[in-house]
Structure 1
Amino acid sequence: MLNAAVWNVRGLNRRDHQIAVRELAMNSRLHFLGLLETRVTLPNAARVQNAIMDIVVQFVHCRIFILSSHIYVLVTVSYAANDVGSRQELCQALCNISGSIGDEPWLVGGDFNAVRDLSEVCGTSGDIRLAMNEFNDCILNIGLIALPMRGERFTWHNCSDDGRSLWKRLDRSS
């Protein structure tokens, strides 16, 4: 089994964030840690081997070999663009990957900058139905299954002080 985490941590050059990441990796005994903004680390490199297969603007795609169980797992860590057109390019790239993976397990996680339904938004957001529908179609076409999430319900906040606070769940793993 692959023990993995994908974390959207900002400011990784800050000492307190580095300590938090190190503690997460050690306490959770992670084999793989995908830090968004296209960083991939292997905290327990003695137990896994990593081959980065593709690095592009919106994702890193890896093939990880777990030494103890002698299995390969494909892992894609995404940091999707804000605009719909670029997210469509991401979806097409993920569709291309899904068509070529065969029977190997595939973990996809990260910040997709889109929600699956309106319950994943709190506050006033423009009309997001088109982006939401396209994201759901992408997940369906690729054949991904949502994994349960631990932690806060919303993964992004606009930090507004003017009373127009907005929270969304933009991060997920499948």
Structure 2
Amino acid sequence: MLRPAAEEKLLKALAVAIVEHPRGTFKEIAQAAGVSKATLNRFCGTRDNLIEMLFDYGSEVMNQIIVETDLHEAPVPEVFQRLVDGHLVHRDLLVFLMFQWRPDSLHDCGEEARWLPYTNALDQFFLRGQREKVFRIDIGAPVLTELFASLLFGLVDGERRGRVARASMGATLQQFFMQGATAG
């Protein structure tokens, strides 16, 4: 589902505001996102609705990245580069997802189903890469998916905290992952 550009811009700003003001009032979150409290109220109504909207948007974005990378046909190294670049374009949303995610929340409220297409697609991509001898076969495809996500989230958080340079994040992630996961 394509969202209007203004809605996407607001959702991204709200994702950042929630991360920067985790205990902020609705008014503080609105101000941090550059809108009035009334606008935020009309947009989502409650903090819980806002969080749900951001999770929905995050899921849409992550699944769109999968669609745009051509996981099944393009050469594996090219796909991997597209995956890294596609995710880093949405680094603010990744920070929100990282800060809101709790391992125990997935099974309790059905959240796992939201992310299943995304993780399954990545698992299949890494399995394809193993079959084509691009990735090591002694590490399971689901583990490669988890390692990829962990490295990605770790670098994005490191950038947010001023420890990682934005300019080199994509190359660093690709080099570190590929050197540690190559078949040869």
TM-score, structure 1 length as denominator?
A: 0.26
Higher fraction of helix: 2
Greater relative contact order (Cα < 8 A, sep 6+): 2
TM-score, structure 2 length as denominator?
A: 0.25
